[in-house]
Amino acid sequence: MKMTRTQVFDCPGEGLNKVMLLLASLLVVASIFLPYWRIEIVAPQYPEGLYVYIHVTGAQGDVREVDGLNHYIGMRPLGEAAPFERKISIPGLSLIALALLASVFVRRPRWLQVMLILPVLAVLVVFPADLYYWLREFGLNLDPKAPLSATVKPFVPPLVGPGKIAQFGVVSWPWLGYALVVVASVLAVWATARRVRCERVLAGYQASMPGRAAAGVASLGLLLVSLAPLHAREWVVASGGTLSLSEALQRAQAGDTIRVVGGIHHGHWVVEKPLYLLGEHAPILDGGGVGTVLTLKAPHSVVRGFVIRNSGTVLNSQDSGIHVEAPDCIVEDNRIERVLFGVHLDYAHRTVVRRNTIFSHDLPIARRGDQIRIWYSHHAIVEQNTVVGGRDLVFWYSEGVQIRNNVVRQSRYGVHFMYCSNSVVEGNILENNSVGVYIMYSDGVRVAKNQIRANRGPSGMGLGIKDGYGLQVEQNLIADNRMGIFVDSGEGVYRGNWLIRNDVGVYLHLAVKTNRFEENAFIENWEQVSLERPHSVSGVSWRGNYWSDYSGYDADGDGTGDVAYQAVKVFDLLASQNAALRLLTYSPSAQALDFGARVFPLFAPRPLVRDEAPRMRPLPPPYTSKRVASRQGWLLFASLTLTLGVLGVARPRVQAFRKQKERTGKRVMAVQLAGAVIKVSNLTRRFGNVRAVDSVSFVVREGETVALWGANGAGKTTILRCLLGLLRFEGEARVLGYAADRESLAVRQQVGYVPQLIHLHPDQTVLETMHFYARLRGVAAERVETLLREWELEPHAEKPVHALSGGLKQKLALALALLSDPPILLLDEPTAHLDTAARAEWLELLRRLKAEGKTLVFCTHQFAEVRALADRVIVLEYGKKVADLTGRDFAQLWLQRGSLRLLVPPSDSERAQQLLREAGYSVEAFDGMVVVHHLPAKRVDPLKLLLDSGIEVLDYEWRAPVESPDWSQIPETMRFAGEASADEVPRMKNSLALPSLLEKVRLLAVKEIRDSRRNRWFLLLAGIFTVLSVILTAFGLTGTGESGGVAGFGRTFASLLNLSLLIVPLIGLILGAMSVASERDQQTLYTLLSHPISPTDLIWGKFLGGMVLLGSAVLVGFGSSGLLLFMSGADMPVGQFAGQMGLTLLLGWVCLALGMGVSTLVKRGATAVGIALLMWLALVFISDLGIIGTAIALQLKAQTLLWLTFLNPLQVFKIAVIQLMEGNLEVLGSAGLYARDRFGDGVLWVGVGALLAWLAVPLLIAWTWFAKRGARE
């Protein structure tokens, strides 16, 4: 029956058709956002699998990881697939969705309905076909240059289902987006078919639909079940379980997984089937110290997560932790310890060794095995491993090996290639080995972005090359090695590397092939380039490199020097002739030779290197370190050091120079002496062959005032100095019971002394001077105030001593003598340099002291002083005692020897003479005057006689005798009438508590610091040291932080070392030389020693003061440098820097002791300074140059040269500093190696001990000499 249009519209189920078509349209739109296909890649190193989801717009998921794997086999990145299809996918699917939406409303004609649903059906075929095309395209067109291209043949990845590519498994299935399109297609076809069949077909179709739907669902379920991947079996070996690892290995089938959970498993295991050995909770496989622990003989085996330990130790059998004898295996995430060989690959192509930590047996390095050894294993990958303490990472006869991101420390060879061409060494850290990387007989090797540091073993190479060609060495940090790069018959390009602080930057043994060094940075290598054979390096070219020692300029500012760089090193040339001379590395003499070559190029050797276009600044560094130093530590160090240094040179704020309450010694009841206080017996003092004092004996009673009378040179001053113990003498002298020669300190404590010439420290004020000596005597501050007021010095208390008049100086000297209220005063011609008024005032002061009961002994040849003061007079002639008279007898005798001159009118002259003769006087006429001789005690009697006789006296004058009397003509009863009996002098207790030795040393040290602060030499040199410390540190910080601090640390260390060698010894020598000699120049030495100060006090006080001063200069210099390092954020160890500062202090104190030795031996400061300068030149330059010449002439051996340098404290200091900062002495060549072998790790302490010996010996010599002879003549 023919249907009408109305009947079509009225077909039952049309609403369902519309819903299905609308739903199909929405499903197509939704599929745009969902993946159409999923590809799963199963790899041993990725046990969880890698998943790539294919959308219509591109691939998502683990695309980066898959691209990384595809790179090795030469497959292009997934992102390059289907570029056109990805562009039209969204517009195309949108049009298909619109077509389905249009079919909801279009039912006629039938062909149009069919055409509207055909595009969605086409998607089901076109998408898989296009995907298969691109999989085939990528799989069949592999890059032949890829690392593993030789091991993988072209292939077509499976579109649906599982497959295998090399050692990788691949499973590919349709996914959610494609499923939605399938459902949309089914709905569209179903709705369209219903419409076409309409009523007649509709009933049958509707009846069959439930069965068909069930069949469809069943078919889909069957399809999904068939697509589900099959899983291999898993075996679990647990601690305490019934299944052992050996049993699991026997039972397991290829592809199975054995999971070992914790525990310790003893034995030896062999894997002969492809298995997954997975460790959980670090299970331990213990070999018991015999043989190999684990052997892999099956390809595609995986070992992960184990602790493998205790292999055998037999080198011949190559006992290993893991021995791999099959290809395509993976060894990763294991800890391998106490093994001979760590991981040994033997014909194990394409095996991966990743993220393992390997430690060797504790054996001598010659008996250790290789921690990673690869033998005939092409395209092996060794990455992200940590190796400590083994022998080598060695690779034999293996092509295409990749060594990436490993850390190798404390081994012999970090990486060693033998016949391993086309390999890669990249991103590794190789430090503290004998050799970092060594490439032998291998071509096409690329060495890039490695850190090769501190490789200083017997070979000591960062990168060594022997017959390696086509090499690429790029962007490596090569630092602190004995040789940065060593080339022996190689060919390559070296670009963008940083060679920093190596002993030799590049060592060219033989380089006739092309070797290009371009855009590298040579920073602070001791020797930038060394050539074994200058005529055998014709193939080497240098261009565009940065040289830290380049001294050219860049006028046009293009970053390239306008003058070619040339390496000219005279010292290196000499050291090449005698390797032992390397011991003088870092010495100023070595640098002086190189400087001379630059100043006088006519005598310079041939340049080793010529770079026509040197860079002014290096390219960016290949490696940027993280800050590891404690900036707080640097700040604390710099602040503390600067504070201590500034305090040391600041004005001393101590009690000795301030008016404050001081320690007061308690008075002790003195012994009342009824007899003698001074007894001199046969006192004799010689100056050469001259007897200044000859067998003088006398006694001074308590309260007596005794004058020592005699002409200049009679021995008066010498006797006083002998009584004070300042001069050595023969005979005996006792003061208050103390022997002047043996107990002089006790004598000076109880005796006040006023010298003839007052020599006090001119820059001190009166008050400072009084307080200083008061503290030395243990006197309270109140006593100082009392004396200043009593002797009218209070108004002058703040005046410097040099501003005082002669009379005030004499008063000050007397006040100093009276500080401890001594019972005895010794005065040496106290009024000799005073005018008449001052002399009268002084005599009045002495009368007061005499009235107070003081015992006075004074030297004089002034009759007025004797007549005014003396109870007794001891007369000296030519050092002998010729008389000992009472004061009255001496005055009478002296008057008799004088003459009275009377001027009378000429008319009365005869009469006056007559009258005087008649009165018994000896008279003569002379020059119109009447002269009366041999007067009696009253000189006024002749004058009175004339006046009473009516003779006018116009003028008169009394004159002292011109010559001393002939004492031998005077009767002994009169001549020795004043001589006291020689009773034993009782010992008197000290009336004050003396300061301790430490207290006196401290006071003298403070005084030395104060005096030296005005020393222009010291201020100049200390300022130079500080300024240069800052400048050189700032200069040395170039590149710090850009390369782990290596550049800046090296330059700062070298700069401060050389600065210390030059300036610090000079400061120490000059300070020491001026210490005692300057006191002699100012004539203050005897002033100090006349007080209770021993030579020991003086030497140690001055040495301590010099130590503080020199220490302050060093602390300020190093503190300023440390502050700059803190501000720059440099990652340098504070401890080593502080250690260098400590050694510098010790060196300065050594030179201070040497200078003090000079100062005690010579008499003048200028002479002492001159000798100190000569010693400085000898220590810094002359001795080294002499050693160089001797070593070249006699070909001295390293050990001989080492012991010779120990005779120079500067060389000892240098060796100790290098050992401290470098941790070794390899930079010093064969002599440094001998020192290391001779002293081991104790080199630093040997150096410190030698410096202490250098400090102690001259200081003890200076002390002994000064105590025995220098202070007591």
Q: Where are the domains of the chain?
A: 5-227, 676-893, 899-959, 997-1270
- Reported as a single tens digit per residue, the pLDDT across 96-143 is 988 888 888 876 677 787 888 889 889 888 999 998 888 888 888 887
Residue 357: predicted pLDDT: 96
Q: Which of 422-426, 752-756, 935-939 has the highest mean pLDDT?
A: 422-426
- Reported as a single tens digit per residue, the pLDDT across 403-419 is 999 999 999 999 999 99
Mean pLDDT of 21-36: 89
Cα–Cα distance, 891 to 895 (Å, whole number): 6
Confidence class for position 338, pLDDT limits 50, 70, 90: very high
Residue 992: predicted pLDDT: 55
Q: Which of 498-502, 550-554, 887-891, 1217-1221 has the highest mean pLDDT?
A: 498-502
- Reported as a single tens digit per residue, the pLDDT across 358-382 is 999 888 877 889 999 999 999 999 9
Could you tell me where the beta strands, DSSP code E, fall in 579-719? Answer: 610-611, 676-687, 690-701, 705-709
Which is more confidently placed, 1029 or 1176?
Answer: 1176
Report the candidate in 1244, 1242, 1194, 1210 with the shortest Cα–Cα distance to residue 581: 1194
Confidence class for position 604, pLDDT limits 50, 70, 90: low
Mean pLDDT for all residues in the chain = 81
Which of 544-558, 750-764, 1046-1060 has the least mean pLDDT? 1046-1060
Q: Looking at domain 5-227, does it have CATH number 1.10.760.10? A: no
Name the region of 380 (left: φ>0; alpha: ψ -120 to 50; beta: rest): beta
- Reported as a single tens digit per residue, the pLDDT across 318-335 is 999 999 999 999 999 999
Residue 991: predicted pLDDT: 53
- Here the contacts of 261-267 (C-beta below 8 Å, separation 24 or greater) are 261/236, 261/237, 262/238, 263/238, 263/239, 264/239, 265/237
Cα–Cα distance, 752 to 766 (Å, whole number): 18
Report the candidate in 787, 788, 784, 777 with the shortest Cα–Cα distance to residue 661: 784
Cα–Cα distance, 818 to 201 (Å, whole number): 146
Distances (CA, A) of 853 to 672, 769, 849, 869: 12, 27, 7, 13
**676-893 and 899-959, same CATH topology:** no
Q: Looking at domain 676-893, does it have CATH number 3.40.50.720? A: no
Question: Is residue 572 predicted with pLDDT exceeding 60?
Answer: yes
Residue 227: predicted pLDDT: 36
What is the rounded radius of gyration, in angstroms, for the C-alpha atoms of the chain? 53
Cα–Cα distance, 1172 to 1164 (Å, whole number): 12
Q: Look at the block and give the residue holding tokens 């100023």.
A: 588
Element (DSSP H or E) covering residue 429: strand 429-431
CB-neighbour burial class of residue 231 (10 A; exposed 0-12, middle 13-18, buried 19+):
exposed
Tokens read off for 1095: 């030579």
Question: Is residue 596 predicted with pLDDT exceeding 60?
Answer: no
Residue 306: predicted pLDDT: 96
- Reported as a single tens digit per residue, the pLDDT across 833-852 is 677 777 787 788 888 888 88
- Is the CA virtual torsion 62, 67, 72, 76 positive or negative? positive
State percent of the chain over pLDDT 90.
22
Confidence class for position 571, pLDDT limits 50, 70, 90: low
Question: Is residue 868 predicted with pLDDT exceeding 90?
Answer: no
Question: Is residue 577 predicted with pLDDT exceeding 70?
Answer: no
Strand order in the sheet with 824-828: 751-754, 824-828, 855-860, 705-709, 872-877, 880-886
Which of 383-392, 592-601, 1024-1033 has the least mean pLDDT? 592-601
Confidence class for position 1252, pLDDT limits 50, 70, 90: very high
Largest CA distance in the chain: 207
Cα–Cα distance, 378 to 518 (Å, whole number): 32
Question: Is residue 569 predicted with pLDDT exceeding 60?
Answer: yes
CB-neighbour burial class of residue 518 (10 A; exposed 0-12, middle 13-18, buried 19+):
middle
Q: Which of 336-345, 548-557, 779-788 has the highest mean pLDDT?
A: 336-345
Residue 664: predicted pLDDT: 39
Mean pLDDT of 50-79: 82
Question: Is residue 149 predicted with pLDDT exceeding 70?
Answer: no
Cα–Cα distance, 887 to 882 (Å, whole number): 15
CATH of 899-959, one of 2.60.220.30, 3.40.50.300, 1.10.645.10, 3.30.70.100: 3.30.70.100
Question: What is the CA angle 510-515-521, rounded to 5?
Answer: 110
Residue 573: predicted pLDDT: 63
Are residues 869 and 890 in contact, defined by beta-carbon separation less than 8 angstroms? no
Name the region of 66 (left: φ>0; alpha: ψ -120 to 50; beta: rest): alpha
Residue 983: predicted pLDDT: 57
Mean pLDDT of 688-694: 87
Tokens read off for 518: 């371009």
Could you tell me the pTM of the whole model?
0.65
Mean pLDDT of 514-536: 82
Strand partners, 615: 546, 560
Residue 843: predicted pLDDT: 82
- Is the CA virtual torsion 847, 849, 852, 855 positive or negative? negative
Question: Is residue 1201 predicted with pLDDT exceeding 60?
Answer: yes
Residue 936: predicted pLDDT: 61
- Reported as a single tens digit per residue, the pLDDT across 426-485 is 999 999 999 999 999 999 999 999 999 988 877 889 999 999 999 999 999 999 888 999
- Reported as a single tens digit per residue, the pLDDT across 622-675 is 865 544 445 566 667 777 777 777 776 665 544 433 433 344 333 333 334 447
Go through the chain and tell me how many residues it has.
1273
Dihedral of the alpha carbons of 507, 511, 514, 515, in degrees to the nearest 10: -10
Which of 189-193, 294-298, 498-502, 1039-1043 has the least mean pLDDT? 1039-1043
